[in-house]
Chains A and B, each alone.
Chain A
Amino acid sequence: MFVEQVREHHAGLRGFVRSLGVDPLWVDDVAQEAFIVAYNRLSEFDHERDFGAWLRGIARNLVINERRKNARRKRILSDNLTDVLLSTTSVPEEEEEELGDRGLAKMNALRECIKGLPEKSLGMLKARYEEDHSAQDIAEKFEMNPPAVRKALERVRTSLRKCMDERLQLSGA
């Protein structure tokens, strides 16, 4: 069923879309559009191919199209930045598959890792990624200075990345 494909690939696809410089506010919109295009073109899908890679190809084309829109309707942060980021997605294909591949497994591992975060780290993470506060706002909330917040968030990300990789390796083993 198509919904199974959505469940399997949405996390990876959304991450891939974001990595092309799409505005975080529009990431889901672009990813959904990619799914709708895929749905409408299912008959064209070569079942020998990886569905996730096919989706990412569709999303990549959607992002390329964003550059042609007028500024008010663009869903990307910057033409220049997206141009540079897109340049890495055309070759090699292996790299493209890697960025967004196994999205569901990675997301599940990440969620588990977040559960183990200390309270303050979790608070900062939620302030940044759930409430969308800037480092400046978080600094005020936690009575820290902005560089310290950025540093702390970087440490949290690094520890989560390590934890996620370890969990994936374990599950793979």
Chain B
Amino acid sequence: MNTHKPIETVLEALLNGDEPGDLNALAAAASDDPKLAAKVREELEFSEMLRQAVHNDAPIASNDLLLRVGQAPQTEAELFDLACDGNHSSYDLNRVARYLEDNPDRLADLRVRMMEDEWLRQAVSASKSEESFIEALETRMWAETTQDHFVEDFSVRLEEEIAAQDPEETGILDFPGAWSKAALELTAVAAAVAITAFMVVVFATGSNEEEGAVLAQMSKVSSDALWSADSPLTDGSSFRSGTYELETGLVSLRFPNGNEMTVQGPAIFELESDHSAVVHSGLAVARAEAKDMGFTLRSKGLSISEPGKMIGIDARSSLSTEALVFDGDAGVCLDDSGKCREIYQFEAVRADNNSDQLLDVPYNPRAFEKAWALVAGVENNLGDVSIEMPGTEIQPTKGISGRVQVYVEKESFEPEQDLEVDQISVGKFADAVVNPGQALQAGGKLTSYLLQLWPEGKVTDNGEEVEASLTFDQPVVGVIFSSERLASSDAAVGTSISHIGVEEISGRGLDSGNDWILLSEDRRTVNLRLKGGKAQLDQVRVLVASQ
């Protein structure tokens, strides 16, 4: 018993609430001596009973020790497994550390083993992929550095890679003969998305809450969309309550109450009702039309609900989930804890899996670009075109050189009075010149897009033209490209985001006489060939019929 005296002193101190000293030594000794282990167990159990009788908290150290006594791993392989396995305690790790101190020649082996574990995670897990890592790094760069060169680096690289894809795969509308395909680059959305029959929706009768009833119909899908074999799609376009796995691509679902949800694969999501879904992994954007119900997106750790506009959830990481508000206000709740708070337009929060707090993070919707292009209804783009995310400021004096930027100005609105738009003949590539204009009668719902080319840089340096083509998912009912009509329509159909510096631009429309515009015969595609002079901003407003 004398040999145990120091150990018993440690145990006594532990039970008395004094500084216990070397708990590791006690645990190690107990694991080697069953009698001592039994004694420790009994004393701790009794101590715990006494403690619970007067208190509610559990003594973590004691429980930890109790759990481990008598079942500690003995071999090196077991110890290494402990260090790499997620199921370990501080006691386990201290045993590993002690083993390595005694066997320093084994250190390198454990480090290699841990590194290989990390590589295997990167190799098999989408959330650990290079793309996910760079995207997360990009967000942190954006938030934590005062410069954004890296972000621009990344964008350029992404576009170069996409441009390298085979244009034959895209199935995009042919251009008039004068267009040089070699001059065109494919944007991210154009490479991925094609419109399917839109809004031809026949919903099953009966309550949506009934098991088996059709909850939603597929309204749009990208050409690269691929479902897992066991996703319960009955006829390829009807969605009932259940879990679906989208391996690649994008899909939009439309619910009979007007709500919409767009999912970007790889994603696993579960439809619960016409106003709620669980996103187990992947990205999703929800737009609520049902004013009374809104839409709720849930995922690991949090849920986000909103009364009427647009929200997004990013559940690609196994470590955390992010929620963003693109439009309107939303309520965000942490699962289990019941902690809730409101977030507002252009705000984002993150829930870490190992934390019980909602963290404010910078609003950076870049991850949602592909989904947003599908939601925004501007797809199949050719040329250097970017669909700007909600919240992006329109900056006529500081655009991206040589790129046609598309801003969704105002969605599903009814103009209060007739609008004056420019005359354009469908199917003819014509000069965008001064014209008498025509009236677009008020009454129907419209969505307004502002297309902008900021000409500084390559256009003015070498005189190159910028060519672009945009296909909308609804018919174009009016185009405004003259400076005066752009200015006069700003108030009625323009964005609520301020046009910083626009008043300093003399001719913001296609007034130079060098610009061409074509509206396709089906009124879905706008082709542009723009050649701005120095400081010659080019803007075109496209008005599209809305549901």
- Measured CB to CB, the residues of A under 8 A from B are 1-3, 6-7, 10-11, 14-21, 24-25, 27-29, 31-33, 35-36, 39-40, 77-78, 80-81, 83-85, 87-88, 95, 99-100, 103, 106-107, 110-111, 114, 125-126, 128-130, 132, 134-136, 150, 154, 157, 160-161
A134 touches B110 (CB 8 A): no
Whether B141 pairs with A14 at a CB distance below 8 angstroms is no
**Given contact pairs A24-B86, A36-B144, A85-B110, A18 touches B118 in the complex (Cβ within 8 A):** yes
Q: Is B52 an interface residue (CB 8 A)?
A: no
- What are the residues of chain A within 8 A of B500 when measuring CB–CB? none
Q: Are B117 and A18 in contact (CB under 8 A)?
A: yes
Contacts of B104 in A (CB 8 A): 87-88
B318 within 8 A of partner (CB): yes
On chain B, the number of residues with a Cβ less than 8 Å from chain A's Cβ atoms is 55
**A6 near B87: Cβ-Cβ < 8 Å:** no
Question: In the assembly, what is the distance between CA of A102 and CA of B162, in Å?
Answer: 26
Name 25 A/B residue pairs within 8 A (Cβ), A-sorted. Answer: A3-B150, A10-B130, A14-B122, A16-B115, A24-B86, A77-B88, A78-B93, A80-B94, A81-B83, A81-B96, A81-B100, A84-B97, A85-B111, A99-B111, A111-B123, A129-B120, A129-B124, A129-B125, A130-B126, A132-B318, A134-B87, A135-B85, A135-B87, A157-B116, A160-B120
| Residues of chain A lying within 8 A (CB to CB) of residue B531 | none
Given contacts A10-B134, A39-B150, A154-B77, contact A24 B121 (CB under 8 A): yes
A84 touches B100 (CB 8 A): yes
**B117: contacting residue among A24, A95, A136, CB under 8 A:** A24
Q: Is the CB of A130 within 8 A of B94?
A: no
**Is B133 part of the contact surface with A, judged by Cβ < 8 Å?**
yes
**How many angstroms between the C-alpha atoms of A107 and B121 in the bound complex?**
11
Min CB distance B101 to A, Å, is: 6
Q: Are A84 and B115 in contact (CB under 8 A)?
A: no
B112 x A19 contact (CB < 8 A): yes
B86 near A106: Cβ-Cβ < 8 Å: no
List, in ascending order, chain B residues with CB within 8 A of A84's CB: 97, 100-101, 107
Q: Which residues of B contact A114 (CB under 8 A)?
A: 123-124
Q: Which residues of B contact A80 (CB under 8 A)?
A: 93-94, 97-98
- A-B contact sample (11 more), CB < 8 A, given A15-B118, A16-B115, A85-B107: A10-B134, A14-B122, A19-B115, A39-B150, A77-B88, A83-B97, A85-B111, A136-B87, A150-B77, A154-B77, A157-B113
* B97 / chain A contacts, CB cutoff of 8 Å: 78, 80-81, 83-84
* Chain B contacts with A in 329-345, Cβ cutoff 8 A: none
CB distance from B59 to the nearest CB of A (A): 16
Give, as a whole number of angstroms, the nearest-CB distance from A171 to chain B.
17
On whether A3 and B134 interact (CB within 8 A), knowing A15-B119, A39-B145, A110-B120, the answer reads: yes
Task: Point out the residues of chain B lying under 8 angstroms from A10, CB to CB.
Answer: 130, 133-134
Q: Does A36 lie within 8 Å of B318, measured CB to CB?
A: no
- The answer, among B100, B110, B137, B318, for a CB contact under 8 Å with A32, is B137
Residues of B within 8 A of A29 (CB): 319
CB distance from A21 to the nearest CB of B (A): 7
